[in-house]
Structure 1
Amino acid sequence: MTRVGTAARYPATETGAGWVVVGVLALAVIGYVGVADLRVSAAVVAAAALTAWGALAFQRPRLALSASFLFTLIAGTKFRIRDAAASLDGVMDAQILLEIALFAVIGVGLVAVWIAGRGDRRGLTAVEALILGYAAIALMSTLWSLAPALTLVRAIQLLIMSALAIVAVRVLTPSGALWTACTAIAAYVLVCAGLAAIFPWASGTFYYEDGFRFAWFSMHPVSVGTLTAIAALGLLSASVFGPPDGLSRKLGIPLPCYVIPLVLVLVLTNSRGPLLAFVAGLGIVMLMRVRSSLRALLLLIIASLVLMYVASGPDVQAWLGSAANQDSAMSRLFFRGQSADTVLGLSGRMELWDDLRPAIAGHSLFGYGYQASRSVVLDVASWAAYAHNALLQTILDLGLIGTLALVALVTIGLFGALFRALGATTRGLTPWLRATVAALMVFLVLNSISTESFAGSPGFETSLLFICALCAAS
């Protein structure tokens, strides 16, 4: 019996030893080739890192999703300034490699989380199908894109952002997904702002004739202001209604203490669009403090007053001209030495609609390819790498078809959130979630008037729009 048992173990032992030999030989070959070609070594290291990250995401899906939002923000951070046409030419540098690597990490993590079977496994909802449909249109536009390689990369990134929003909402719940995104962006903004304030190499502050605009690295002050305003709205709403996780302190510090420096950073960026949109979002949060029976009436009164003011034909240009001539801190902060005409024209952004009208007419149905209209915009305005308006950007990139899909998502998110905020239906939504989704959607829509926002390169704002739409429809 002993001999039989021992003999039965021999094949398994020999098989195991054989695999060890094969593994050693494979590593030897890879090492030899890697020394000769560093690209092989880099590929092996990258594959090992992605495998390790996938294993961690499989075991800790919540941690992986939280980290994915931070990876998205880091991927969207500009650490250098380069020519706007470089991406059209396919020029690669360390910034682009980092961005692609981080999106790859996010994608692998999402696959691992989904395989782990955590969260809701039901079929696609209508909003999820619409999100993926929008991403599919972007991917299909590679076929007629002016810059196929750029469109392919950006479309894949858009698919990853779509998957991040869907998986996060299913695994973390709507409240958990939005709160995770808000805390991630708050941590990112505070860390980057601290680095920029302390270290000159991290500062991207832009000085002009009448002051300065705070920023970090090579980020534009408008982008910094946008991210900061989103973080401030999320934490401000949590300070008013209580955070979803029930923890009123982070690292032992009350949430309102985080809101104060965020608002200060927003003001220091001196970005009119994000600042005005933030004020509107703040108004929504304050509106949610009113009893549900009075919200609709109060909103109706405000809307009526605004319409009456507009119908009276106010001379906005004269009013702005008078304000611009005043020597006050508020006037200097708002106008930044610009005239009333320049402010009304959104610093030249409104002229892009007229200048790009022939280009839109030439490719009205399908556009020029996702994120590939940059060459068209640069031909019209050398200073504009983007259309500086989400609607105009989408029309140029994806034409009528893609624009309808994105407008549908924005409509679902905005009006769904406002209906919930007004108390039309509150099932399944906590007060914090209703207030935050409504405030963020109002902010995103207003801010997208003067910047490409969620219609630009896929990133945090894109995933935030998708999450808000999913929350509003939940």
Structure 2
Amino acid sequence: MMLVDAARRSPRIDPQLAWTAAGIAMLAAVGYAGAADLRISAALVGGVALVAVAAVSYQRPRTMLAACFSVVLVAGTKFRLRQASDSLDGSLDAQILFELGLFAAAGVAVLVCWIAAGDRRRPTIIEVLMGGYAGIALLSTLWSASPVLTLVRAAQLLVVSGMAIAAVRMLTPAGALWTACTSVALYAIACSVIGPTFPWASEFADASDRVRFAWFSAHPIAVGTLAGIAALGLLSTAFWTSPHRRNRLLGIPLAWHATPLVVILVLTNSRGPLLAFIAGVCTLAFLRLPWSARIPLVFIAAASSLVMVVAGPNLQEWLFSAYMQDSAMNHLFFQGQSAEGLLGLNGRLDLWTDLAPVMAEHPVLGSGYQASRATLLDVASWAGYAHNALVQSLLDLGIAGTVALGLLVAIALSAVVRSSLAPWLRGTSAALMVFLVLNSVGTESFAGAPGFETLLLFVCALCATSGPSSFSRTRVTL
């Protein structure tokens, strides 16, 4: 009895107060550990940020998916130059940690958005090919010459693949493609404004008396590629109504906003993106024509090409003759280089010839996803990549990965012209895929490190093979 009375008289501890005290003690311990080691602090901040991203993604999945396009663009920005061998050594710096953190945030956002949407539709053939390509890249870690690099890049490829599938399913095909176009347009214009304004953010490459515009430490070809993609996306509104049915921004037609992007493309002095852009514009114009005009135009183009091949002038002699002329177009085309250098694609043909024995050593599975860099540096110290998407894919994933990627592109290109697609979606997807494929002749493009070009190719392929698109379900804004 006395023990019971004593227990009744003892003060009761509020459970909430106890949990609060325990939380304060835990935070104090974590704070002490974080002050002692900055890596712990960074990990804690990153963990809290990922939790916040997950919470917002669950509440607003469509908004977060649209934002992920900009996240991928920022993650791929080169803020400073790095040696090509640094990635093989596994060296980490602030730029790499920033890139990995953004991809982690994008991966969490895509996963949570998918869960929130509850999409249970069966995968399409393009989605299966994308999954197979990413799966081969992940499996190549087992035989990779640089397993850590392959694992990281394969994880990024999985994020990009999942993002493309989720965006097309949740934003609708037209909404996903329009979001990609507007995101890269805003990104390119913003970087171009920051570049001339702040000296630390502007870098001009000077080679062979050429001045080439670029931002931060990005290569002029990469800058020209993004500017060309953005310009094509906005120019498409001059041929068809945009997905959100607004053809003006600030009282100016959307197509006119492509003018500064075309100027940026020209200032980069990058032939590959410029020629690919011209081909993309021709694709837009061709698909705008009725079928009665397309068929004769195709026959005329085929006949002209045949005549040029059979009885046309010698290409080498024509280039030497054009090289001796003094004109603005001549300077833009040759860019201070010789005709021999142009015929050799600035050393690319020699590089591909030297890489042929390397590809023959691992013909089926390759050296591992993005792990061929060590071999490339041995062959040519200036080549961090193969400067060609086909060669890069054969080096990294061999015939297996190249077939998966090639089938994806081939099926998408063959399906993009079918009449069941909305006109803007069909034309823009075709023009962008033509741009990416032609641009990949002189650069690794979508076969290189996963980034916006890979994401855009996947989105275009998914859009090309999708069903009829309804603009009424597209809720995107510029």
TM-score, normalised with respect to structure 1: 0.93
Whether the 8 Å contact between 2:388 and 2:440 is mirrored in structure 1 is yes
Query: SS in structure 1 opposite 2:266?
Result: helix
Match of 1:296 in 2: 295
Q: Deviations over 1:382-424 (max 9, x none)?
A: 111100000000000001111111111111222222xx1xxxx
Q: 1:440 aligns with which of 432, 435, 459?
A: 432
Measured in 1, the distance between the counterparts of 2:128 and 2:26 equals 43
* 1:252 CA displacement: 4.8
Whether the 8 Å contact between 2:208 and 2:337 is mirrored in structure 1 is no
Q: Deviations over 1:408-444 (max 9, x none)?
A: 1111222222xx1xxxx322x2111111011011111
Q: Deviations over 1:239-271 (max 9, x none)?
A: 321210112233554312311111111111110
Match of 2:257 in 1: 258
Match of 2:410 in 1: 411
Query: SS in structure 1 opposite 2:87?
Result: coil
Whether the 8 Å contact between 2:75 and 2:99 is mirrored in structure 1 is yes
Match of 1:223 in 2: 222
Match of 1:54 in 2: 54
Measured in 2, the distance between the counterparts of 1:239 and 1:86 equals 45
* 1:15 CA displacement: 4.6
Measured in 1, the distance between the counterparts of 2:227 and 2:94 equals 26
Counterpart amino acid of residue 75 in structure 1? A
Match of 2:159 in 1: 160
Measured in 1, the distance between the counterparts of 2:59 and 2:309 equals 57
* 1:206 CA displacement: 1.4
Query: SS in structure 1 opposite 2:336?
Result: coil
Counterpart amino acid of residue 412 in structure 1? I
Matches for 1:278-289 after TM superposition, within 5 Å: 278-289=277-288
* 1:309 CA displacement: 1.4
With over 3 angstroms needed to count, the CA separation of the structure-2 counterparts of 1:377 and 1:266, relative to structure 1, is same
Measured in 2, the distance between the counterparts of 1:238 and 1:177 equals 16
Match of 2:419 in 1: 426
Q: Deviations over 1:248-304 (max 9, x none)?
A: 233554312311111111111110001001111100111122113322332232123
* 1:86 CA displacement: 0.7
Whether the 8 Å contact between 1:72 and 1:459 is mirrored in structure 2 is yes
**Identity among equivalent pairs (%):** 57
- Is structure 2 residue 399 aligned with structure 1 residue 400? yes
Counterpart amino acid of residue 414 in structure 2? F
Q: How many correspondences in the alignment?
A: 454
Measured in 2, the distance between the counterparts of 1:130 and 1:14 equals 58
- In structure 2, list runs of 5 or more residues that go unmatched: 1-12, 467-478
* 1:238 CA displacement: 1.8
Counterpart amino acid of residue 327 in structure 2? S
Whether the 8 Å contact between 2:220 and 2:270 is mirrored in structure 1 is yes
Query: SS in structure 2 opposite 1:207?
Result: strand
Whether the 8 Å contact between 2:232 and 2:281 is mirrored in structure 1 is yes
Higher alpha-carbon deviation: 328-337 or 446-455: 328-337
Measured in 2, the distance between the counterparts of 1:297 and 1:186 equals 35
Measured in 1, the distance between the counterparts of 2:24 and 2:256 equals 56
Query: SS in structure 1 opposite 2:211?
Result: strand
- Is structure 2 residue 124 aligned with structure 1 residue 125? yes
Higher alpha-carbon deviation: 236-245 or 373-382: 236-245
Match of 1:10 in 2: none
* 1:17 CA displacement: 4.1
Whether the 8 Å contact between 2:71 and 2:106 is mirrored in structure 1 is yes
Whether the 8 Å contact between 2:228 and 2:273 is mirrored in structure 1 is yes
Match of 1:44 in 2: 44
TM-score, normalised with respect to structure 2: 0.92
Match of 1:138 in 2: 137
Matches for 1:281-430 after TM superposition, within 5 Å: 281-312=280-311, 314-417=313-416, 420=417, 425-427=418-420, 429-430=421-422
* 1:171 CA displacement: 0.4
User: What is the root-mean-square deviation in Å for CA atoms of aligned residues?
Assistant: 1.5
Match of 2:456 in 1: 464
Whether the 8 Å contact between 1:61 and 1:113 is mirrored in structure 2 is yes
Query: SS in structure 2 opposite 1:356?
Result: helix
Matches for 1:157-306 after TM superposition, within 5 Å: 157-306=156-305
Higher alpha-carbon deviation: 31-40 or 272-281: 31-40
Whether the 8 Å contact between 2:213 and 2:264 is mirrored in structure 1 is yes
